[in-house]
Amino acid sequence: MKKVILASTSTLHNQDYLEYILPELPNLYKGCKEIVFIPYARPGGISHEEYTDRVKKAFETIEISVKGIHEFLNPIEAIKKAEGIFTGGGNTFLLVSELYRNSIISILKEKVENGTPYLGTSAGTNIAGLTMGTTNDMPIVYPKSFQTLGLVPFNINPHYLDPDLNSTHKGETRETRINEFHHFNSQPVVGLREGSWLALEGDDVFLRGELSARIFKTGQTPIEVTSGTNLKDLN
């Protein structure tokens, strides 16, 4: 039975790292004394060590210890033996590239599908979809494949932004980019706004948080779904 939280972001405006989602984590990681953190996405290019230290400080407040996957001699064994897993945000191209390079993407999928608790934020949420094709990130490296974990039957667009009608910026909106994605890909896309998350409980996929999410399907007008909606049949 899957136990997963997929959050749009790690940090809300004027809050500390993970502050808004921390109340959900003791239940997610119930019974876990230590979790494995995957820092491969490296936001802003920070080191694995610096990123892991940031996570350790946040998890100290809920009395769970954290060990970065880079601290293990064998990353495959680290995932196999993990009591719980957290994949942080940053650059999705880099994250996926490193997951394939270290040969852990398939074992990570297997572990989570078999019930190991998993938290993803931003890039760590993006990889829970069928592919990483709806990331917002620059392609700073070239991963072996765009195929990701497929924990949900759709793609996710974390940090989804609505068009700002008062903005002087005339470039592409997020909705435009997702429509471009649907010219070549058929799976639905969930636009996940800041402060929202998906909670996977077995086969169920509930939208949580205060905001609605925007659902995109090929050739259809986007719709809004409210918090509490079960998206398990979205395909």
**Fold exhibited by the domain 3-225:** Rossmann fold (3.40.50)
Among residues 10, 97, 122, 196, the one annotated as catalytic is 122
Nearest to 155 by CA among 120, 182, 176: 182
Among residues 48, 137, 212, 227, the one annotated as catalytic is 137
68, 48 contact by CB (below 8 A): yes
Domain boundaries, the chain: 3-225
Q: How far is CA 30 from CA 3, 96, 160, in A?
A: 10, 28, 30
Catalytic residue check, 145: no
Mind listing the pLDDT tens digit for each residue in 195-210?
999 999 999 999 999 9
pLDDT value for 165:
73
Distance CA 75, CA 38 (A): 10
Nearest to 102 by CA among 58, 48, 152: 48
pLDDT value for 235:
84
17, 54 contact by CB (below 8 A): yes
Catalytic residue check, 233: no
**DSSP 8-state secondary structure symbol assigned to residue 117:** -
Among residues 159, 162, 186, 227, the one annotated as catalytic is 159
Nearest to 4 by CA among 29, 31, 40, 37: 29
Nearest to 142 by CA among 94, 87, 90, 89: 94
State the pTM of this model: 0.96
What is the residue-level pLDDT of the chain in tens, covering all 235 positions? 899 999 999 999 889 999 999 999 999 999 999 999 999 999 999 999 999 999 999 999 999 999 999 999 999 999 999 999 999 999 999 999 999 999 999 999 999 999 999 999 999 999 999 999 999 999 999 999 999 999 999 999 999 998 877 777 767 899 999 999 999 999 999 999 999 999 999 999 999 999 999 999 999 999 999 999 999 999 8
Between β-strands 189-192 and 213-216, what pairing exists: parallel, antiparallel or unpaired?
antiparallel
Question: Which residues fall within 8 angstroms of residue 94, CB to CB, at 6 or more apart?
Answer: 40, 41, 42, 140, 141
* Cross-strand bridge partners of residue 204: 201
Residue ranges of alpha helices (H) inside the chain are 25-28, 48-60, 75-81, 92-101, 105-113, 123-126, 174-181
Catalytic residue check, 122: yes
